[in-house]
Amino acid sequence: MRPSRTVDTLGLGYRPNVNVPALNCHLNTCVPWCQVVFVMANGGDPFAIPERMDTDTDSPKETKPENHTCSSSPLSPETTCTQQGMEGIKFYLHERELWEKFHEVGTEMIITKAGRRMFPCYKVKVTGLSPKAKYILLMDIVPADDHRYKFADNKWSVMGKAEPAMPGRLYVHPDSPATGSHWTRQLVSFQKLKLTNNHLDPFGHIILNSMHKYQPRLHIVKADEYNRFGSKNTAFCTHVFSETAFIAVTSYQNHKITQLKIENNPFAKGFRGSDDMELHRMAKIQGKEYPVVPRSSVRQRVGPSGSLFGGNARGLGLHPYSCENGVSSTTQDLLIPPPAPYTLPQPDPHEHMHCNKRKAVDSCSTAENHQYRKPYIDSSPSNDESYYHPSAYPPPPLPPTVHPPPPGLSDSTYRSEAGQRQACMFAGSESRLDNLSCTSWSYSCPLTPDMAPMTPTDPYTTFPHQPYSSSPQNAQLSPSPPLREYHRYPSSPSPPHYHTLHTHVMGGVPEWSEPT
DNA sequence: TCTTCCACGTT
DNA sequence: CAACGTGGAAG
């Protein structure tokens, strides 16, 4: 069994002036402590023209992802995977059709204080990896735009400016690091990733704002045997499946989405069934004899499909098992960008993979303590201090104390998954991983033996934050600026190409155990 | 809007 | 079996 690990936000998380998000993680077994820094060789110029890859020639060679219902996402025109070892990597979204169904309606993902999984589940098929090379797969979810939305009249519409971005967190796939053969052997599932609206979430879940639109992104980082956790010579690629964009909500807004979830999520089977069954069950629940109006007919009135979310995806010739489309048939080829307000800022948000070339860079160690105002959502008051105290993080393998889990969330919560690999959560301004303003990234990865509770630094003390009502621009009043870019998912037409991953092994030699 | 609790289902 | 993941309803 692989050690569980958790990664949390470091106080470094937000580096206004440097745009270097820092991540802290606990890698039980693998890395005592390390720091990884991504740096853009191009100086962070988001508008730099990416090196292009010849997708045409590449397509033919595409390996079909066997029987999976995966979509190929391959190389968009913006693909710039030219660096060694990263050029042939391709991702296929599993159950793309299902994703598209949701996308057409306007995907919504529930966010709760305790954390809610995503459905559809984000799973991908990966090809093109070097069998023996080690890779780290991770996800982040970045704001798709600067808006806040509302759902009225059966449709989504913009309602003002977005709240300041949450502290960004990365979800490192629990199998990471693993060999290319491992990743390509089967689907890579991000099933356990959870979304929360708790700004002070101690579990490492991805923090989002309700009624805001987000875009999940997939990143693959090559780690080599020399540097364990990503070497200086390692690059990373970022891939986006635009059909996975969604609006975070605390309760479903569009009944169509509710129905899709119920129809497709096995855990929601209890909500399926005939009206008769409904009535019977409802009556039973209420201990009454008379039937109650089935909930499905109460508030679940289907309205016209007015969602602008991704209505255009329909009728575009998407086929099931589109993996067969291989590289040439990318989503971008088939999908038309959804109309605003759902349209992502960049030209072709649909799908693109950004591969960044390595560049040696030093980690930015700018320490800072930005004041972050207290969130309106306060999860465990009594424990906040311990949970978010920066000191909890430390280089040392085990945060000494690691404060007990918050009330209600017993230790078991953390350990429940101890038997399996834990995903790492990184925090920082992830949205800029490939973003313009991002000149470098810093990941701190303390190693912990067991699933130590996340001990994130209080984001509110480390991130500049403005009142909810303030605009992103205002948010920048803070000493530093980063929020602006942070807010917007790839606002640049083309991502910076040369990102660098720099690893510092700070506490010993990490062990790269093969995932089992 | 958001949170909590619930029945009911999967794993 | 227990733990956990669901959406609904009530607050």
Q: What confidence score (pLDDT) does residue A352 get?
A: 58
User: Do A20 and A37 form a contact (C-beta atoms < 8 A)?
Assistant: yes
Q: What confidence score (pLDDT) does residue A69 get?
A: 53
For nucleotide C8, the protein residue with its alpha carbon nearest to C1' is A295
β-partners of residue A188 are A124
Residues 98-137 of A with CB under 7 A from strand B: 112-113
For nucleotide C2, the protein residue with its alpha carbon nearest to C1' is A416
User: Do A22 and A476 form a contact (C-beta atoms < 8 A)?
Assistant: no
Is residue A252's beta carbon less than 7 angstroms from any atom in nucleic acid strand C? yes
Q: What confidence score (pLDDT) does residue A426 get?
A: 54
Token pair in block for residue A164: 């300041």
Is residue A298's beta carbon less than 7 angstroms from any atom in nucleic acid strand C? yes
Q: Residue A318's CB: how many other CB atoms inside 10 A?
A: 18
Token pair in block for residue A338: 């959804």
Is residue A166's beta carbon less than 7 angstroms from any atom in nucleic acid strand C? no
Q: How far apart are CA A122 and CA A246, in angstroms?
A: 12
For nucleotide C3, the protein residue with its alpha carbon nearest to C1' is A416
Q: What confidence score (pLDDT) does residue A71 get?
A: 52
Q: What confidence score (pLDDT) does residue A87 get?
A: 82
Q: How far apart are CA A339 and CA A307, in angstroms?
A: 10
> Could you tell me the distance in Å between the CA of residue A291 and the C1' of nucleotide B4?
25
Is residue A251's beta carbon less than 7 angstroms from any atom in nucleic acid strand B? yes
Phi, psi values for residue A323, rounded to 5°:
-60, -25
Q: What confidence score (pLDDT) does residue A86 get?
A: 83
User: Do A39 and A361 form a contact (C-beta atoms < 8 A)?
Assistant: yes
Q: What confidence score (pLDDT) does residue A425 get?
A: 52
Q: What confidence score (pLDDT) does residue A85 get?
A: 65
Is the whole model's pTM more than 0.85, yes or no? no
Task: Using the CB atoms, write b or e for A227-264: b if 16+ within 10 Å.
Answer: bbbbbbbbbbbbbbbbbbbbbbbeebbbbbbbbbbbee
Residue stretches of chain A with pLDDT short of 50? 1-68, 73-80, 82, 227, 230, 276-278, 280-350, 357-422, 428-516
Q: How far apart are CA A368 and CA A84, in angstroms?
A: 35
Q: What confidence score (pLDDT) does residue A168 get?
A: 87
Is residue A79's beta carbon less than 7 angstroms from any atom in nucleic acid strand B? no
Q: How far apart are CA A331 and CA A313, in angstroms?
A: 9
Q: What confidence score (pLDDT) does residue A252 get?
A: 98
Is residue A488's beta carbon less than 7 angstroms from any atom in nucleic acid strand C? no
User: Do A363 and A502 form a contact (C-beta atoms < 8 A)?
Assistant: yes
Chain C bases having any atom below 7 Å from a protein CB: 3-10
> Could you tell me the distance in Å between the CA of residue A454 and the C1' of nucleotide B5?
26
Is residue A286's beta carbon less than 7 angstroms from any atom in nucleic acid strand C? no
Q: What confidence score (pLDDT) does residue A138 get?
A: 95
For nucleotide B1, the protein residue with its alpha carbon nearest to C1' is A250
Q: How far apart are CA A246 and CA A208, in angstroms?
A: 11
3-state secondary structure of A60: helix
> Could you tell me the distance in Å between the CA of residue A101 and the C1' of nucleotide B5?
31
> Could you tell me the distance in Å between the CA of residue A92 and the C1' of nucleotide C4?
29
CA neighbor of A516 nearest in space, from A192, A174, A191: A174
Chain B bases having any atom below 7 Å from a protein CB: 1-4, 7-11
3-state secondary structure of A385: helix
